Amino acid sequence: MTQVSAAVIELRDLQLKTDIGTYGPKDTRLDFHVLDLTLGISVNQVLIPHDGMTHVFDYDPLIVEIDRLAADGHYETQERLMTRIAIACAAYPAILRMEISLKKSPMRAGGSVLGHPQFVPLI
């Protein structure tokens, strides 16, 4: 039997209330930014011997912090917001690795979506 040492928590399609970008008079303004966040955590916080929040990684406070960062003011680039989200994740010792993707839409009048994935290993 293979021993599992890591688990993954996926937070998908978190629509952020944020102000990102610099626009000219004829530019398409973005309607929304959507965050996908994959967190690698210790398997002992997923496969638990007893039921209870004290045994698992509680991601709700992290989501509250991400929402606060997103609404913290104007960002010229979405990379800056992603950097701040990565720093917030790194503050949690339970998070061993993360993958962040911040998508924005619409990129054109047709409604296309563009995403920026970024892997951030934690040591």
Tell me if 98 sits within 8 A of 89, measured CB to CB. Answer: yes
pTM above 0.85, yes or no: no
Architecture of domain 6-121: 2-Layer Sandwich (3.30)
Whether omega for the bond prior to residue 61 falls within 30 degrees of 0, making it cis, is no
**pLDDT of amino acid 19:** 86
**Mean pLDDT rounded to a whole number for the chain:** 82
Q: Sorting pLDDT into bands at 50, 70 and 90, what band is 31?
A: low
The domain locations on the chain are 6-121
Position 1 pLDDT exceeds 60 = no
The CA distance from 42 to 24, in Å, is: 46
For 64-98, letters b (16+ CB in 10 Å) and e give: ebbeebbeeeebeebeebbebbbebbeebebbbbb
**What 3-state class would DSSP assign to 78?**
helix
Tell me if 103 sits within 8 A of 117, measured CB to CB. Answer: no
Query: What would the pLDDT profile of 57-113 be if each residue is shown by its tens digit?
Result: 999 999 999 999 999 999 988 889 999 999 999 999 999 999 999 887 755 555 444
